[in-house]
């Protein structure tokens, strides 16, 4: 009698972001199959979720650099703080409300504000918009803040009591009128319920490595990131505490970081 095919089939082990429903965005610099580069200059970074967004840059001089052994021995995209940016033109609507985002990054020098992820929308400024956001490191190095909503600053930011340089894992959960921003590796968080976000989906996309603003005629970029982005995970729902804990633990283990 032959052995059952079921017994021969390898068992799935470990956690994957896909284990949680509503995965809308997953960028992973450690997966070389998702990156197109020439001499380490990245022209495309492809989404591993079913949304299959493509973040791209057609201008050679504006491409981030795929850099090895950045965080926990894993690769990351290095943004030069001058003009590097990757843009996805796919509809970002599902990542507006409600949503939960995680970003693994690194900042080696205290160089002021630098955009990590921006939802860019034609006709609306990220500093004062009811349907977009931008996540940025601030001048306190590992401090992280979110701009958007009906006020200039959605969150004043989360950071250690002193400037902390190095690698971080952050998470952001937003709904129509509340949100929680956490720096998981610094063990600090900020909750805000004083703003309002519109649930109207946007037909505009997302940008990595900058803050996107509207100058009255076109989308422009400011506050280019001097630092690294290793992974971005986004869900089109507010994760439960258990789900968020699973994602945080997965990222901490993967990158050799300690959750505070």
pLDDT of residue 159: 62
Structural domain contains residue 237:
yes
What is the gyration radius of the CA atoms in the chain, in angstroms? Answer: 18
Secondary structure E strands in 91-225: 99-107, 114-119, 129-137, 144-149, 151-158, 166-174, 179-183, 188-192, 206-208, 211-214, 219-222
Structural domain contains residue 92:
yes
Residue 164 pLDDT class (50, 70, 90 cuts): low
- pLDDT higher than 50, residue 130: no
Instruction: Give CA 67 to chain center in angstroms.
Output: 18
- pLDDT higher than 50, residue 22: yes
Beta bridge partners of 77: 66, 229
Burial label, 69 (beta-carbon count in 10 A; 0-12, 13-18, 19+): exposed
Lowest mean pLDDT among 73-87, 161-175, 196-210, 242-256: 196-210
Q: What is the mean pLDDT of the chain?
A: 82
pLDDT of residue 112: 72
| Domain range for 96 | 20-255
Structural domain contains residue 154:
yes
Q: What is the pLDDT of residues 204-259, one digit of tens each?
A: 788 999 887 777 777 788 889 999 999 999 999 999 999 999 999 999 999 999 99
Structural domain contains residue 8:
no
Instruction: Give CA 181 to chain center in angstroms.
Output: 12
Structural domain contains residue 228:
yes
pLDDT of residue 189: 86
- pLDDT higher than 90, residue 140: no
Q: Rounded to two decimals, what is the model's pTM?
A: 0.88
Torsion angles phi and psi, residue 91, rounded to 5: -55, 125
CATH of the domain at 197: 2.60.120.200
- pLDDT higher than 80, residue 54: yes
Structural domain contains residue 247:
yes
Q: Strands 144-149, 74-80: parallel, antiparallel or unpaired by DSSP?
A: unpaired
Mean pLDDT across 90-98: 72
DSSP state of 251: H
Structural domain contains residue 121:
yes
Structural domain contains residue 14:
no
- pLDDT higher than 90, residue 29: yes
Structurally, the chain folds into a number of domains equal to 1
pLDDT of residue 179: 79
Which residues, including other chains, have CB under 8 Å from residue 177's CB and lie 6 or more apart?
Answer: 193, 195, 196, 197
């Amino acid at each position: 009698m032959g052995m059952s095919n079921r017994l021969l089939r390898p068992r799935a082990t470990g956690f994957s972001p896909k284990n949680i429903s509503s995965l809308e965005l997953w960028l992973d610099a450690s997966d070389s199959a998702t990156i197109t580069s020439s001499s380490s200059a990245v022209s495309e970074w492809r989404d591993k979720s079913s949304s299959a967004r493509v973040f791209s840059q057609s201008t050679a001089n504006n491409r981030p650099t795929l850099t090895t052994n950045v965080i926990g021995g894993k690769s990351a995209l290095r943004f030069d703080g001058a003009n590097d940016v990757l843009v996805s033109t796919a509809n970002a609507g599902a990542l507006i409300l409600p949503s939960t985002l995680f970003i693994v990054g690194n900042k080696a020098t205290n160089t002021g504000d630098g955009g990590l992820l921006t939802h860019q929308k034609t006709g609306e400024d990220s500093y004062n918009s009811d349907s977009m956001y931008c996540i940025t490191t601030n001048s306190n190095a590992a401090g992280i803040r979110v701009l958007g909503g009906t006020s200039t600053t959605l969150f004043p930011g989360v950071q250690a009591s002193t400037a902390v340089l190095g690698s971080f894992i952050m998470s952001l959960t937003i709904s129509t009128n509340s949100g929680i921003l956490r720096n998981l590796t610094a063990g600090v968080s900020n909750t805000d319920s004083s703003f309002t976000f519109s649930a109207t989906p946007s037909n505009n996309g997302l940008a990595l490595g900058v803050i996107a603003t509207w100058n009255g005629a076109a989308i422009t970029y400011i506050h280019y990131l001097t630092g690294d982005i290793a992974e971005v995970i986004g869900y089109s729902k507010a994760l439960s505490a258990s789900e968020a804990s699973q994602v945080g633990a997965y990222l901490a283990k993967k990158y050799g970081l300690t959750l505070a």
